[in-house]
Amino acid sequence: AQSVAQPEDQVNVAEGNPLTVKCTYSVSGNPYLFWYVQYPNRGLQFLLKYITGDNLVKGSYGFEAEFNKSQTSFHLKKPSALVSDSALYFCAVRDDRGSTLGRLYFGRGTQLTVWP
């Protein structure tokens, strides 16, 4: 079975500090991993994805994520947080061997608050 866990409902950081939003996953085959961001009353916006290759993936708005196969993790990071980064963040996974290729499995989301 495919699943995603985001162990923290909320993450609070001060502006200018580094931030990390955690994600762990479970799949049968090789994972395709995604991060999305959602601002209030809006749809989800794609940030970045890991398919294969370099374990450090760079995405939009200065975000990056590190794929760790041994720990089955894909944590989202940013070296210096901005107040405007405050939003709800979702991690998602697909299995490359899944019969339903279209399905993405989402975590429950982590609310990031960056205070001035």
Partner 1 sequence: DGGITQSPKYLFRKEGQNVTLSCEQNLNHDAMYWYRQDPGQGLRLIYYSQIVNDFQKGDIAEGYSVSREKKESFPLTVTSAQKNPTAFYLCASSPLGTAREKLFFGSGTQLSVL
> In the complex, which residues of this chain contact partner 1 (CB under 8 A)?
9, 32, 34, 36, 41-46, 49, 51, 90, 94-96, 98, 100-104, 106-109
User: Does residue 61 come out as left (phi exceeding 0), alpha (psi in the -120 to 50 range) or beta?
Assistant: left
Q: Residue 30 Cβ, how far from partner 1 at the closest point, in Å?
A: 9
Q: Which is nearer to partner 1, 43 or 116 (CB)?
A: 43
* Cα–Cα distance for residue pair 77/65, rounded to 1 Å: 6
Q: Residue 80 Cβ, how far from partner 1 at the closest point, in Å?
A: 25
Q: β-strands 110-115, 10-14: how paired?
A: parallel
* Cα–Cα distance for residue pair 74/95, rounded to 1 Å: 14
Q: Which is nearer to partner 1, 12 or 17 (CB)?
A: 12
Q: Residue 45 Cβ, how far from partner 1 at the closest point, in Å?
A: 7
- Is 54 exposed, middle or buried, given 0-12, 13-18 or 19+ CB atoms closer than 10 A? exposed
Q: Residue 43 Cβ, how far from partner 1 at the closest point, in Å?
A: 4
Q: Which is nearer to partner 1, 14 or 101 (CB)?
A: 101
